[in-house]
Amino acid sequence: MKTGPGLLFVVSGPSGAGKDTLVDALRARTTRLRYSVSATTRSPRPGEIEGEHYFFLTPEEFERRRDAGDFLEWRVYNGNLYGTPRDYVEWTLADGYDIIMKPEVNGALAIQAAYPAAVLIFLVPDRFSYLRDRLLARRTETNEEIAHRLEVAHEEMKAIRNFDYIIINEQHRSEEAVEDLEAVLHAERFRIHRYEDDLLRDVEHT
Ligand code: 5GP
């Protein structure tokens, strides 16, 4: 049964909660989801691929595109700019495909303002101290950057009530978090209000 425009899933939560791993694992399990690749001015980490993990832009190019209205939302995070390209999201949803994205918390709230039908999922580690452990284990940031990310993370936790779902990413049990996320996606697709009116009418009159 066709359900009209695609659904927009926004996975957010503090940096270090495990968004990247969770969303990567989900994408490996399903072919139905399109991923919205963000633009950023930060340098690529080892193994990161242009156009797959991010579109890596110079600050000048980012600002030019931002000023042209190319981003659905954008944020400064830890001294770098991050933004969600608008066209990809608009066209993909219009084509009926579901999208998943993983902006930081303020970006998620901006997406919700632009797309009130977006499904917002908040990912938290089971204990806040694990955030620090995960950031340290990643070894891609300096101690100063980690301290800053943790400060931001404390602030980000305060936005939780604006979200639709919470998923707890327990240490060493991340496959359960992936299953939880998949369950949310499945359930959202079955919501009555997602179906076009004429289809519902057909059902009513059978
Ligand atoms: P990282 O540098 O670790 O890849 O990302 C830093 C933070 O920026 C993460 O919390 C990530 O979710 C967020 N981020 C990535 N892309 C976007 C985006 O397009 N918009 C916003 N608002 N945040 C983003």
Q: How far is the CA of 180 from the centre of ligand 1 (A)?
A: 22
DSSP the chain: ---SSPPEEEEE-STTSSHHHHHHHHHHH-SSEEE-PEEESSPPPTT--BTTTEEE--HHHHHHHHHTT-EEEEEEETTEEEEEEHHHHHHHHHTT-EEEE---HHHHHHHHHH-TTPEEEEEEESSHHHHHHHHHHH--S-HHHHHHHHHHHHHHHTTGGG-SEEEEE-TT-HHHHHHHHHHHHHHHHT-GGGS-HHHHHHHHT-
Q: How far is the CA of 6 from the centre of ligand 1 (A)?
A: 23
Pocket of ligand 1 (CB under 6 A): 15, 19, 38, 42, 73, 75, 77, 82-84, 102-104, 107
Q: What is the pLDDT along the chain (206 residues), one digit of tens a residue?
A: 445 789 999 999 987 788 999 999 999 998 889 999 999 999 999 999 999 999 999 999 999 999 999 999 999 998 999 999 999 999 999 999 999 999 999 999 999 999 999 999 999 988 777 778 888 888 788 888 888 888 888 888 899 999 999 999 887 788 999 999 999 999 999 999 888 888 899 999 98
Domains with residue ranges and CATH for the chain: 8-36+97-204 (3.40.50.300)
What pLDDT is stored for residue 1 in this prediction? 46
Which of 77, 81, 146 should be mutated for ligand 1, with most atoms under 8 A from CB? 77
Q: How far is the CA of 123 from the centre of ligand 1 (A)?
A: 14
Q: How far is the CA of 196 from the centre of ligand 1 (A)?
A: 34
Residue having the nearest C-alpha atom to atom 9 of ligand 1: 104
